[in-house]
Amino acid sequence: MNLNNLPKRVKLVEVGPRDGLQNEKQAVPAAVKIELVQRLQAAGLKEIEVTSFVSPKWVPQMADAAEVMAGITRVPGVRYSVLTPNLKGFEAARPFKPDEIVVFAAASEAFSQKNINCSITESIERFAPVVAAARAAGIYVRGAMSCAVGCPYEGEIAPERVSYLAGLMKGIGVQHIGVADTIGVGTPLKVQRAIEATLKHFDLNDVSGHFHDTYGQALANMLASLQLGVWHFDASVAGLGGCPYARGATGNVATEDVVYLLHGMGIETGIDLDQLIDAGQFISDFLSRATQSRAGKALFNKRQG
């Protein structure tokens, strides 16, 4: 494994407030979500996925999207993104001036139906006017491709299907694309194949990795992506996360673990690991749960002496 030509800097999108909390059964008050965002930006995160403007019937935890967006204190230099699955979501998000919106599709038909109640083709038709409206308003558009390696309903997903979806997303004007291993089944070579399939349509600088850690492969998958030159990743503080429509999926790769790995290899993130650990502890305490971050746990215990 050649580790000599890795990127010198990595940009992390913190998805804890959104992906992290959307899967929580217990209601998390807007005030807690707002404080989490404040703590994450204080720790140096420059990209925060704050919430989703989705149907509250589908994801009740995100029903307070407007309240959360209205409640955060925005810091210059930090970019705030939100998920918008349709025009209704985009119009609801728009007054809050997100820096970026995310449209989310799936490489698998079955997951597309389960998660957003339509086929892949229909989802692209639905996203097209959202992307056009966002770009006309000067809002950056990111896309997410779920089940880019495996699907809870269809099993393994071939790279050709990822390439096909990436082409459709590019075709409607999506500017940056996330390759998501929604259920964390991917292993490094499979993840590299999914990324290479995406690179047929998107520039290396416009591709990110979004790895759930269900099978403990997320850091390895990240390293495999770094080897291809990918330098944008999503991560979730305390390893929170999961998708309510992806059975068996657990949290995203923990931001603390990612930062520990990257800093250990001399790769810059601009993040203060100590403050990040505090943010992880804050939300884990609220959820009455131990952090899922191994580095977070180890460093927190070390602090206690």
* Selected binder of ligand HMG within 19, 213, 256, 257 (CB under 6 A): 19
232 Cβ neighbours under 8 A, 6+ residues apart: 10, 11, 12, 13, 176, 205, 207, 208, 209
232 to 72, 120, 210, 224, 277: CA distances (angstroms): 24, 25, 9, 13, 21
Least Å from the CB of residue 249 to Mg ion: 8
159 to 114, 166, 190, 233: CA distances (angstroms): 21, 10, 8, 19
Is 19 among the residues that bind Mg ion (CB under 5 A)? yes
CA 14/CA 185 separation, integer angstroms: 21
Specify the stretch interacting with Mg ion by CB under 5 A; choose among 13-21, 56-64, 155-163, 277-285: 13-21
Is the CB of 19 or the CB of 257 nearer to Mg ion? 19
222 binds, among ligand HMG, Mg ion, none (CB under 5 to 8 A by kind): none
* Selected binder of ligand HMG within 21, 30, 105, 144 (CB under 6 A): 144
Sign of CA dihedral 218, 219, 225, 230: positive
Is the CB of 281 or the CB of 292 nearer to ligand HMG? 292
104 binds, among Mg ion, ligand HMG, none (CB under 5 to 8 A by kind): ligand HMG
Q: Which of 118, 147, 151, 243 is catalytic?
A: 243
* Selected binder of ligand HMG within 104, 233, 282, 300 (CB under 6 A): 104
Phi-psi category of 167—alpha, beta or left, where left has phi over 0 and alpha has psi -120 to 50? alpha
CA 104/CA 123 separation, integer angstroms: 8
Per-residue mark of binding to ligand HMG, 246-285 (x: CB under 6 A)? ----------------------------------------
Least Å from the CB of residue 212 to Mg ion: 6
187 to 151, 155, 224, 275: CA distances (angstroms): 14, 14, 9, 31
Is 147 tagged catalytic? no
DSSP string of 221-287, one letter each residue: HHHHHHHTT--EEEEBGGG----TTSTT--PBPBHHHHHHHHHHTT-B----HHHHHHHHHHHHHHT
DSSP string of 284-298, one letter each residue: HHHTTS--S-HHHHH
280 binds, among Mg ion, ligand HMG, none (CB under 5 to 8 A by kind): none
Per-residue mark of binding to ligand HMG, 44-63 (x: CB under 6 A)? --------xxxx-xxx----
* Selected binder of ligand HMG within 41, 61, 81, 86 (CB under 6 A): 86
Least Å from the CB of residue 22 to Mg ion: 9
Please work out, in degrees rounded to the nearest 5, the angle formed at the alpha carbon of residue 122 by the alpha carbons of 118 and 124.
Answer: 120
CA 289/CA 63 separation, integer angstroms: 23
Per-residue mark of binding to ligand HMG, 166-195 (x: CB under 6 A)? --------------x-x-------------
**What's the gap between Cα 158 and its chain centre?**
22
Nearest-CB residue for Mg ion = 19
297 binds, among Mg ion, ligand HMG, none (CB under 5 to 8 A by kind): none
* Selected binder of ligand HMG within 16, 20, 89, 150 (CB under 6 A): 89
Q: Which positions lie near ligand HMG, rule CB under 6 A?
A: 19, 22, 52-55, 57-59, 83, 85-86, 88-89, 92, 104, 115-117, 144, 146, 180, 182, 210, 212, 243, 245
Q: Which positions lie near Mg ion, rule CB under 5 A?
A: 19
Active-site residues: which are they?
A: 243
